[in-house]
Structure 1
Amino acid sequence: METTTAEHIIWQEQDLIRNEFPILKQTVNGRPLVYLDNGATTQKPVSVIRSMQEYYTMYNSNVHRGVHTLSQQATAAYEAARHQVAAFIGAHHHEVVFTKGTTDAINLVANGFRKDILKEGDEVIISAMEHHSNIVPWQLACEEKNAKLKVIPITDKGELEMDVFRSMLNPRVKLVSVAWVSNTMGTVNPVKEIIELAHEQGIPVMLDAAQAAAHIPIRVHELDVDFLALSGHKLFGPTGIGILYGKESWLDKLPPYQGGGDMIKHVTFEKTTYSEPPLKFEAGTPAICEAIGLGAAVAWASKLGIHRIGAYEHQLTEYAIAQLKAIPGLRFIGEAEHRSGAISFLVGDTHPSDVGVLLDQQGIAVRTGHHCTQPLCDRFGIPGTVRASLAVYNNTEDIDRLVEGVHKAVTLLG
């Protein structure tokens, strides 16, 4: 397999990279673990695990409130993580709001639009490949305001019908919110073009970058995107933490999502004034340890290089597709020209869950079902897929085990 210099270095470093992930050393059902469910959550390197252990064993304390040493150390580490994430996505630190994850971040924006922006007859545009977390919040907002939720259709290959999208843009549209990368098909959407087309008509854009952050470099200022959300646990970090990036002008405009401590300047029983963003959206004690873990995760990914990770995974994806194509009766769901991270497929008439169970018996972890994209599966008329989703610690041996496992599963189910 031919590789460029940058890619070749990662191929050579595979053993070192895998050794940084303790969970990969175990066996499942008597076989070495093959973990191909990274679209659901990634595994964590030792540096992330250690950073969280150090917080709880050395300086556990609340942030932003105390004058004592431990509180000052915790506050410094928490805000350092915000700076690390901001650098990772090309933002200013005050544009980065810590959230519970992508779902929480999208709900934060949807809540703000529901309260102050959406009116009867307005429209919000999403796409046919969205995760439920980028469908349901906008449904709730539109239902309350009697606004309309419009959906960009997709082709049989799993790509957005961009001509239709252009025709959907009009003065009634108050937001376009789309996935950068499909969690089911791996389709990489033309987000730069989407942003430019929307902005030509003064329409803001939100990107769900949950599936992009571990594979594609993010530079929010270069994209000129208005909002962007991502989850830590899909980026080698812990669960329960994510971020919302928002342009400063938008964060100033949106109302607080929740009320409580740490998001206020002054409270009386008659009136409360709020802190400036991002604290305006961070009510209560935050997920301090998780934020520190996220900071360690983006530091780990940045050191390896997202460009290099993406180039390596592209080669591995091509290898996987070529090997899977050789399985009789296998068909891919989504064959976009530009794809990243995920490969979905079905084999003959076998149910994806049955294939998943038999793969697990061989120590191979994949995801089966509709992957929180039920409307997408309805579009293709299928109950779900078998999804193998890749990360930088996967290798060709993992792919060979997957192909062998699918062959065996189909034989047993035949």
Structure 2
Amino acid sequence: MSLAKLAEFQVQFARKPGLIHLNNAGLAPITLAARDKVQYWAERFYQEGFWTDADYMADVLSTRHALASLIGCQHDEIAWYQSAAGAINQFAFGVNLQPGDEVVIWDQEYSSHLYPWKEACDQAKASLKVLKSEANLQTPTEKYLEALTEKTKVAAFSWVQFSSGARMDTEAVIKECKKRGILVFIDIAQGLGIHPCKLWQWGADAVAGGSHKWLVSPVGVGYLAIRKELAMRMKPRVIGAYTYGTCDDPSDFACEPKRDATKFEPGSKQVLEITALGASCRLIHNVGVEVIEAEALRLASKLREGLESKGHTLLNPFGKAAISPMVNFYPKENISIEEVITTLNNHHINFARRGGGIRLSTHAFNTEEEITKVLRLL
């Protein structure tokens, strides 16, 4: 691991005394580069108004390129949304489910991934096949593959499950789905920015996520990356000027929708948040996702080993393998979850309650001193 590159990443984060960020799988702090980008555009909009028009649109385009480089897709295969839920809705309702079709999903999917598919299936009289997770929230690849049938139209799953970091052999799942003609939709909110992404290279049809977790950017940006051939066939769920052209084009009832993913964006973009995301994406790309992942996993392993040594029980779907920065645990018998929560809150250590336990999630900007303090308190 390059210590110089790691330092380049770590220096981007504020070190407010007394605060420890260990809910990075929920809401991570943003980078200095992202903060500066927000301030830059806020000041220019204040000073210049319309005279910023071409410049801010160029910066939004630059962000498309930066995000595309992390996903592995083309920039015009990306559509912006206010949240990942909006992106998931576009695909779930736009994929033209028919009566009798099946969508296969895990029972531990995050609600913003689960609910759109349930409603889309209900409206189309399709079947949502919900697979039960195994012990420790494991998501066995074999169980998922066995659930696929000739009726399966969409394999919908998270690259990394939000409660505990559980993962399937995604490459194997995509390969099998491609053989059977099954569409693959992946929620990548818990993976992009912290794990190297090869999902597009492996053949995923569409992926979606948001800005405020491992991409260390402001809340408020969702994205859908969708294959060009699918985008061309799929109808937008929300219609506006940008579905057909730009806000300056004359209205024309005979106009044709765009042919790339930007047709799914009906109007003006959330420029401050999108351009801030671009700044963080460029930082992550320059530092290297592998460098960031290695440090986050190293700290998570230290935390995981420390919790076990103190008698706490890990909710661990991947055994001894250090493949996730998420550390989910149950307190040992003589300590209640409420006591642990009180301790963490009193010492300004953020966390999440997930899967019945307490989830801590390390990022590469965390320090060994922070991990040591948490273990001492627990």
Q: Who is 1:327 aligned against?
A: 310
**SS of corresponding position for 1:273:** coil
Mapped to 2, the partners of 1:345 and 1:190 lie a distance apart of 24
- 1:171: how far off? 2.1
Q: Who is 1:412 aligned against?
A: none
Paired residues of 2:141 and 2:168 also in contact (CA < 8 A):
no
Q: Who is 2:140 aligned against?
A: 161
- 1:271: how far off? 5.5
Structure 2 residue identity aligned to 1:136: Y
Mapped to 2, the partners of 1:175 and 1:387 lie a distance apart of 30
Mapped to 1, the partners of 2:310 and 2:5 lie a distance apart of 28
Structure 1 residue identity aligned to 2:22: L
Give the TM-score taking structure 1 as reference length: 0.84
The within-5 A match list for 1:10-29 is: 13=7, 17-22=9-14, 24-26=15-17
Are 2:77 and 1:90 equivalent residues in the alignment? Answer: no
Mapped to 2, the partners of 1:43 and 1:185 lie a distance apart of 20
Q: Who is 1:393 aligned against?
A: 365
Q: 2:325 aligns with which of 341, 346, 355?
A: 341
Mapped to 1, the partners of 2:198 and 2:332 lie a distance apart of 41
Mapped to 2, the partners of 1:184 and 1:206 lie a distance apart of 19
Paired residues of 1:185 and 1:334 also in contact (CA < 8 A):
yes
Structure 2 residue identity aligned to 1:342: M
Structure 1 residue identity aligned to 2:328: S
Mapped to 2, the partners of 1:362 and 1:356 lie a distance apart of 10
Q: Who is 2:87 aligned against?
A: 105
The within-5 A match list for 1:211-360 is: 211-234=190-213, 235-265=215-245, 273-328=256-311, 330-337=312-319, 338=321, 339-348=323-332, 350-360=335-345
Paired residues of 1:91 and 1:219 also in contact (CA < 8 A):
no
Structure 2 residue identity aligned to 1:224: G
Q: Who is 1:374 aligned against?
A: none
Cα deviation code 1:58-108 (max 9, x no counterpart): 25699xxx9x64211111111111111112221111101112232221111
Q: CA distance change for structure 1 residues 283 and 20 in 2, over 3 Å: closer, same or farther?
A: same
The within-5 A match list for 1:18-57 is: 18-22=10-14, 24-26=15-17, 32-57=18-43
Paired residues of 2:226 and 2:261 also in contact (CA < 8 A):
no
Give the unaligned 5+ runs of structure 1: 1-5, 27-31, 371-376, 378-383, 407-414
- 1:357: how far off? 2.6
Give the unaligned 5+ runs of structure 2: none
Structure 1 residue identity aligned to 2:351: V
Q: Who is 1:81 aligned against?
A: 63
Q: CA distance change for structure 1 residues 61 and 262 in 2, over 3 Å: closer, same or farther?
A: farther
Cα deviation code 1:218-241 (max 9, x no counterpart): 234312110111211111111110
- 1:127: how far off? 1.3
- 1:9: how far off? 5.1
Paired residues of 1:179 and 1:208 also in contact (CA < 8 A):
yes
Mapped to 1, the partners of 2:68 and 2:375 lie a distance apart of 39
Superposition CA RMSD, Å? 2.3
Mapped to 2, the partners of 1:287 and 1:405 lie a distance apart of 41
Q: CA distance change for structure 1 residues 60 and 258 in 2, over 3 Å: closer, same or farther?
A: farther
Q: Who is 2:100 aligned against?
A: 121
- 1:398: how far off? 1.3
Q: 2:149 aligns with which of 156, 170, 181?
A: 170
Q: Percent identity?
A: 23
- 1:354: how far off? 4.1
Mapped to 1, the partners of 2:83 and 2:156 lie a distance apart of 16
Structure 2 residue identity aligned to 1:305: G
Structure 1 residue identity aligned to 2:19: L
Mapped to 1, the partners of 2:2 and 2:139 lie a distance apart of 29
Are 2:193 and 1:206 equivalent residues in the alignment? Answer: no
Q: CA distance change for structure 1 residues 41 and 391 in 2, over 3 Å: closer, same or farther?
A: same
Paired residues of 1:41 and 1:233 also in contact (CA < 8 A):
yes
Mapped to 2, the partners of 1:404 and 1:9 lie a distance apart of 30
**SS of corresponding position for 2:157:** strand
Q: Who is 1:373 aligned against?
A: none
Moved more, 349-358 or 235-244: 349-358
**SS of corresponding position for 2:200:** helix
Residues paired across the two proteins, number: 371
Q: CA distance change for structure 1 residues 274 and 354 in 2, over 3 Å: closer, same or farther?
A: farther
Q: 1:179 aligns with which of 153, 158, 167?
A: 158
Structure 2 residue identity aligned to 1:193: A
**SS of corresponding position for 1:274:** coil
Q: CA distance change for structure 1 residues 50 and 124 in 2, over 3 Å: closer, same or farther?
A: same
Structure 1 residue identity aligned to 2:227: K
Q: Who is 1:367 aligned against?
A: 352
**SS of corresponding position for 1:91:** coil
Paired residues of 1:124 and 1:174 also in contact (CA < 8 A):
yes
- 1:351: how far off? 4.7
Q: Who is 1:149 aligned against?
A: 128
